[in-house]
């Protein structure tokens, strides 16, 4: 029971931006997004065509999970970046992370529009 509460609290802390920027950005946003996207990258169109009803449903659920995870990762990382306070004579890594996330979001939107 305690592990379940710790996991839930970790998710809440991340969502609120209370996790450090390096962990939020590199671990949750970058590595986590790659891991979550792998199944959709591996499954080709021809393989998708061979799915039955249950396989198609599972693939749709996977896509919904990917988008949910991506939104969760961006929001938590964005909030962490806003709270990030650089040390004296250090780059504004929070601002750099926000700019990169904005560019990534714009790129994704353009890709979706082009695919329509």
Q: What is the pLDDT along the chain (116 residues), one digit of tens a residue?
A: 667 789 999 999 999 999 999 999 999 999 999 999 998 888 877 777 777 788 788 888 988 999 999 999 999 999 999 999 877 777 789 999 999 999 999 998 999 899 88
Q: Is residue 37 part of a domain?
A: yes
Q: Are 70 and 33 in contact (CB under 8 A)?
A: yes
For residue 99, what is the enclosing H or E element? helix 93-115
Q: Is residue 107 part of a domain?
A: yes
Q: Is residue 47 part of a domain?
A: yes
Terminal Cα distance for the chain, rounded:
46
The total domain count for the chain is: 1
Q: Is residue 13 part of a domain?
A: no
Q: Is residue 30 part of a domain?
A: yes
Enclosing domain of residue 31: 18-115
Q: Is residue 4 part of a domain?
A: no
Q: Is residue 33 part of a domain?
A: yes
Q: Is residue 82 part of a domain?
A: yes
């Amino acid at each position: 029971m305690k592990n379940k509460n710790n996991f839930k609290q970790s998710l809440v802390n991340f969502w609120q931006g209370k996790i450090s920027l390096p962990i939020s950005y590199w671990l949750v946003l970058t590595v986590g997004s790659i891991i979550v996207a792998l199944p959709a990258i591996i499954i080709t169109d021809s393989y998708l065509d061979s799915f039955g009803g249950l396989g198609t449903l599972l693939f749709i659920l996977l896509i919904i999970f990917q988008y949910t995870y991506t939104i969760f990762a961006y929001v938590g990382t964005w909030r962490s970046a806003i709270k990030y306070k650089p040390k004296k004579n250090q780059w504004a890594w929070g601002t750099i992370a926000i700019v990169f996330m904005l560019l990534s979001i714009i790129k994704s939107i353009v890709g979706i529009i082009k695919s329509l």
